[in-house]
Structure 1
């Protein structure tokens, strides 16, 4: 049965191509949504770019016919701009002031009322990423849904980068004798991904175990190349950190994603690996470290000074880790070290668009605050011989339109898990301090 989907403004600003995601159903855009999009199109951020994209998209569809009457889409459905769909009385009676959200609710409510009076009514669904709008719709008796098209199935089901498999102890002995196993030697229905880690444990209950990595073609299980030697003074404190260093130091893996709670060592491990590859092995020409400028809480507003001075508060977590790695004693020493080296660049993602970055070790911190469009822009900047590290905590998101299942970091993890050039690991154990681990678990 065909449906009518009424879209909220935030859906279009989150995914400007969302009008094509509803198959052969009718998509309705309330007129007030156009007003809200118009108010955002001058923004210089991702929301502004999406607002301008939606404006161009609707203008292109307008060439095919009157949007007020409805225009056919390539998906088999249609799109319609609703100018003023009858009365707002019922919505205003319940919620008082006629805000833009309430006007969108009124359009959905009046459509729903009209359809229920027909012999063959179509279900009307309001699609919004605003939780309170969906709650208001429920009060009015309107079916409401979040926009789920670009989400992974479930955050808890997200690819973790490693799996524990219980096997007969003879198979573990065979691995230690030959240093590799064929993937089909594993009993059971285990789907293996390229560069995934396998922790083999004895099904008989002994302490015998082995840590392996799936080959890029997913046909063999190989031993890890990295030993337990420290990397720039940083050693792996648990199995997942060892897996992360294996990915970070493997030059054949050009895209590495690392997720984990605060204090699990994501930034420190990536910086240590980057310094080794750039300063010691000279595999890459430069170490580029960047993070999105998204505030936690209220924005502190404009900052005085040159670009470097403006960026310093946003980049301070990076400098904190660099100070630890270089073991600096005084404030300001790290700036002198970085200036002397010349091969380490700390940058804001604001300035990465339009660049081509070859031969560099690129670390993107706090990548969970990126949309899927932004993360595509970043990964597509990588030139020949570059390696990109995306890391962050999907449970700590400051972006207003993203959550744990729809942000750019988890999107990349799921889309690249089948690719031989990428690897992923989820860090679980906090190593910053016992207090930090308890805060991450309990708060």
Structure 2
């Protein structure tokens, strides 16, 4: 009769896991964590680079140093309790494995690449720790395939910040009801407060309502926004379908109800965070910039517009580009300047209008890498291409926003460029789900490509 399988597992972490979440070592509860020596070497090489990930590498190294500071070499190899750290509920152990000591017979791959040495470690521990389950955790898809092909039974992506299992379950920010809304409402209490009308309905009439979720029906006769919801009743603010479609900003009118909902959220000063998702050509950047100009120039709600986006190789190449920071950022922010041209294409002198507007709205182009440490006040911050950011990176940016600042996050989850992110693990997906019940945020999925019939056909057929 074989040995009983241990209830605790052993998780071997790849370098990219610690770069994705520097405090990932605390996310495995009662299970044990193993850090191969190769991972420490990679972190050491990365920490001194002029890349955004260098900070994450340093945070991970400091977290490990805090755990192993007073441990003997024997204890480091056998395992130090993770519970020694005050900021965690983890109760397992963490150890460092000297993968260079593996003899040739224990190796499945040559040790010429870091990935190979980490896989060799995982295969060795899988054999030595039987019957305990050993799991290799990496965000590198190809590494997961190599490990499985070499005989690793358990290989996983790091998903502690994954809130949904399938992107189709991602909240769209609105609920489109079949038929007429009033056809399903039997009992309703309505009241007027100034120019606004509110309806209180039974909770069971809507599926999983949340704050600032838009409610529309397919008869195009009703549009509202959830103001409050509990187990018994839901309070809706009646927006009026026609009134919603009649909204405009800087001369831009909505082409469909989804753009109308986005405009409503963007122009509402009580909403601090607006998240716009949707396919290429659905109008995310155009609506965001039109509302930015409207709120800064026409309504004087904010003092300036800060435009930023993820720039994967910014730290490597920005120094070689001429000009100021704004001028260096221009290649990555061409989508925004293209949008400004669209907004002013009918002006007598488009170039003159652009210079005037950029000066009048105090539009500043900043790199995400240089946002850390700032406190941004009374500004509208437009963060484009959010799908390529991790939850940790987005947290860094969101926590920069001070009093009187509105943040607009845009992204297309089908255009992720990162090697380690998928639609379900993207930071954009994470904040959509995390901020769903926050009264100061709204999320709208812009369903429908309005850029051109060519773009619409390509989005559907390619």
TM-score by length of 1: 0.90
Alignment map for 1:15-414 (pairs within 5 Å): 15-66=21-72, 67-74=76-83, 75-84=90-99, 86-89=102-105, 91-92=107-108, 95-96=109-110, 98-116=112-130, 121-142=131-152, 143-153=154-164, 154-166=166-178, 169-171=182-184, 179-184=197-202, 187=205, 190-201=207-218, 207=219, 209-216=221-228, 219-224=234-239, 227=244, 228-294=246-312, 302-327=320-345, 328=347, 332-333=351-352, 335-338=354-357, 340-341=359-360, 343-414=362-433
* Structure 1: gaps spanning 5 or more residues: 202-206
Cα drift, residue 395 of structure 1: 1.7
- SS of 1:246's equivalent in the other structure is helix
> In the alignment, which residue of structure 2 is the partner of 1:204?
none
Cα 1:108–1:428 shift into 2, 3 Å: same
What is the rounded CA distance, in whole Å, between the counterparts of 2:454 and 2:428 in structure 1?
A: 27
Say how many residue pairs are matched: 430
What is the rounded CA distance, in whole Å, between the counterparts of 1:53 and 1:300 in structure 2?
A: 24
Whether the 8 Å contact between 1:367 and 1:390 is mirrored in structure 2 is: yes
Whether the 8 Å contact between 2:344 and 2:350 is mirrored in structure 1 is: no
State yes or no: 1:415 paired with 2:434: yes
What does the per-residue CA deviation read over 1:252-277, in whole Å, with 9 as the maximum and x for residues that have no partner?
Answer: 11111111111000010011111111
Aligned residues: CA RMSD: 2.6
Cα 1:357–1:71 shift into 2, 3 Å: same
Cα drift, residue 54 of structure 1: 1.2
- SS of 1:125's equivalent in the other structure is strand
Cα drift, residue 343 of structure 1: 2.6
What is the rounded CA distance, in whole Å, between the counterparts of 2:105 and 2:453 in structure 1?
A: 57
Cα drift, residue 347 of structure 1: 2.5
Cα drift, residue 246 of structure 1: 0.8
What is the rounded CA distance, in whole Å, between the counterparts of 1:140 and 1:324 in structure 2?
A: 54
Whether the 8 Å contact between 2:111 and 2:117 is mirrored in structure 1 is: no
Cα drift, residue 233 of structure 1: 1.4
What does the per-residue CA deviation read over 1:49-73, in whole Å, with 9 as the maximum and x for residues that have no partner?
Answer: 1111111111111124232231001
> In the alignment, which residue of structure 1 is the partner of 2:194?
none
Whether the 8 Å contact between 1:172 and 1:209 is mirrored in structure 2 is: no
Whether the 8 Å contact between 1:278 and 1:286 is mirrored in structure 2 is: yes
What does the per-residue CA deviation read over 1:302-332, in whole Å, with 9 as the maximum and x for residues that have no partner?
Answer: 3233333322211211111111112356674
Whether the 8 Å contact between 1:64 and 1:71 is mirrored in structure 2 is: no
TM-score by length of 2: 0.86
Cα 1:311–1:185 shift into 2, 3 Å: closer
> In the alignment, which residue of structure 1 is the partner of 2:86?
none
Cα 1:389–1:312 shift into 2, 3 Å: same
What is the rounded CA distance, in whole Å, between the counterparts of 1:265 and 1:311 in structure 2?
A: 22
What is the rounded CA distance, in whole Å, between the counterparts of 2:360 and 2:410 in structure 1?
A: 25
What is the rounded CA distance, in whole Å, between the counterparts of 1:101 and 1:88 in structure 2?
A: 16
Whether the 8 Å contact between 2:209 and 2:229 is mirrored in structure 1 is: no
Cα drift, residue 47 of structure 1: 1.3
- SS of 2:78's equivalent in the other structure is coil
Cα 1:108–1:340 shift into 2, 3 Å: closer
Greater displacement, 398-407 / 241-250: 398-407
- SS of 1:221's equivalent in the other structure is strand
Cα drift, residue 433 of structure 1: 0.7
